[in-house]
Amino acid sequence: MAAPALKSAAIRHVPASSLHVSKPTWWLTSRFHFSFADYFDPKRNNFGALRVVNDDLVKGNAGFGTHPHRDAEIFSYVLDGQLTHADSMGNRESLGRGGVQFMSAGTGVTHSELNDHPETCRFVQTWITPDRRGHTPQYGSSTYTKQERHNTLLRILGGTGAAPAWPGLVTRDEVALYQDANVIVSESDAGTAFKLPLAPARQGERGRGGAAS
């Protein structure tokens, strides 16, 4: 189940204006980077191991009810509001802005992602293809302060490989992906610039709020 190999380094910028907007519901608006649910674009099925990036706006007292997953590395990064996670491994917690929760579905789990507060919650949910099928499910979470996120390159998740050698990269990841991947976020002021040199055959996707490599 390994992701397709890349022959050369590549970084892709995805402007918000290019994202597909989901069909409207009373409680959810999603912007899809890739084919998802009833949206299909053969040119947007994946980018290497990166399979799903959804920018979700969930209204208060609503959310994604309990549903199953397997063989996927799934994580959510909260941009605004509160997100409550619960799963079949017995985990349950609420995270606010700057929080990330990670779940390796492996041999199979069920989970829910709910906004049980009155204010709208915005979070980015990402799925990465694991390096193989059948991993033992796991869960982890971290919360990062405004100071940690501001004008820095903050690595919030790592994987089976080394962290990229990027100037100024800060690492405090506490759970590991079952894939050679890194997830980096930054809440940067206008005009702030970073150098993101990629090693041969590496890839990066850059969107609003963060980057994955």
Annotated binding site: which residue ranges? 67, 69, 111, 113
* Bridge pairing between strands 92-95 and 83-87: antiparallel
- Could you give the 3-state DSSP secondary structure of residue 57? strand
How distant, in Å, are the alpha carbons of 82, 174, 203, 205 from that of 3?
32, 24, 12, 15
Half-sphere exposure of 159 (CA within 13 A, CB side): 21
Annotated binding site for Fe cation: 67, 69, 111, 113
Q: Sign of the CA dihedral 71, 89, 149, 191?
A: positive
